[in-house]
Amino acid sequence: MAERGAHVFSCGYQNSTRFWFPCVDSYSELCTWKLEFTVDAAMVAVSSGDLVETVYTHDMRKKTFHYMLTIPTAAPNISLAIGPFEIILDPYMHEVTHFVCPSFFHYSNIPRHSFTKFLNFMKKF
């Protein structure tokens, strides 16, 4: 699947979080979260919160990403993306990390530079 650039992501459609993980799917129910995603070894799981650790299985065929979301958050505001992403640190803003599908890697410089210019513009206000 990684060779074909297969990926999946959640979207924040109203009250749809319960379709991909068990939760109280309401914007008024805030809580902290411990999130674990087990994926193929060639994939990367990106989610809300802080990545605490990544643990490989004994046969090295899968890995589990452990995230902690310590700020009370409603389930509909949690996101997830899984894919064979290239991880790129932004050369202009070191606090920004880009996750790019390999098939779109050749496009990655254009939006990244534009995004950085946009954020710098917004900082002025």
Cα–Cα distance measured from residue 49 to residue 64, given in angstroms and rounded to the nearest whole number:
15
CATH class for domain 6-83?
A: mainly beta
The one-digit pLDDT tens for each residue of the chain (125 residues) are 656 668 888 876 666 778 888 888 888 999 999 999 999 999 999 999 999 999 999 999 999 999 999 999 998 889 899 999 888 877 777 787 778 877 666 655 555 566 666 667 767 76
Cα–Cα distance measured from residue 90 to residue 109, given in angstroms and rounded to the nearest whole number:
10
Give the pTM: 0.76
Contact 83, 8 (CB under 8 A): yes
